[in-house]
Structure 1
Amino acid sequence: MSQIKIFTEELANEAVTTRKMLGRIPSDQFAWQPHQRSMTIKRLATHIGDLPGWIQMVLDTDELDFQNTTWAEPDLNTTEEVLAFFEESLKKAKKSLSEANEEELDKIWTLRSGEAIYDRSTKAQVIRMCLNQIVHHRAQMGVYLRLLDIPIPGSYGPSADEHEDMIPKEETEAAS
């Protein structure tokens, strides 16, 4: 199976869970953060929504230079806006993957800020990192939601919130 097909299928599979997780975020909690050094829910949700778009950027460019970019983070203020942003980002990623060829994945892509180079990897490696970042930050959002006592969806099977029979018997007895 080609790398492009693998990336496309993984992106589609992870989008299902990501959509469910983003959909649980209450708009009235966007300013909440678990620690002063942590992102706010709004910032984290926006970042998660943006990450599929990085796949398009990686396939369409040879680098991201933080000193020479016009990109600005969108000001998303509701769960619906976050979900719409995620869907648009996902659409761009899918289109770029559908138009890409395997040879392109071997080209080097650079992440830098002016002369400071943070990373030089193949485009395939950076796309893999983008997919990993989606999962990583989605899990981070799961912790945020758990701390706010908001039921979280399962990722690769049901969560404890989705099936009470998964909660250890001692916990349910203690709650009685």
Structure 2
Amino acid sequence: MFEQLTQLVQQYGGDAVVNNKAVPNEHNEAVINETSTSIFESLKKIVSEGGTEQIAGLFSGKSAIDSSNPIVQQIQQQLSGSLGQKFGLSSADSSGVASNLIPQILGSLVNKAKDPNDNSFQISDIINSISGNSGQASGIMDTISKYGMQFGLDQNNDGKVDVADVLVVTKSKGGIAGFIGKLFGSK
């Protein structure tokens, strides 16, 4: 996932990094890489700190992907601090780079993950990459269960979303990836 994320950062980094006079040209590639790392590590940190509901909200499209979103704010702050520390950018310049890049990149990431015709990002791959261990994956499943009723995931109409529903979806729609894809609007 990290390589695809770096490609997204490169795609959106033109104005915010490459054409930005505040970022010295010799640092362009390093700033792009730092942006990818900050996004990836911040998402992992949010999951590890119990932010599975925030992640579910982000990828379901229920949360705006702008500066009002706590995930966007957290990643922007992380990136801004890192750019200032590692590359000597002023607070205003590093904040400007972060606020220009993060909403665009996260918006594109979410849209690509939800698009059934775009295989560059899969929800299941993203969740596996950022969750890291079974305890966190379990937390994500708890969140899926909590919000599953809203998303029509009660496949056996028993009034709850549980393993039985996962089995119904996984038999017909491509395993756990199909279940997670259904949660986030993929077909």
TM range (shorter): 0.3 to 0.5
Greater strand proportion: 1
Greater helix proportion: 2
Q: What TM-score, normalized by structure 1, do the two folds share?
A: 0.33
More contact order relative to length (CA 8 Å, sep ≥ 6): 1
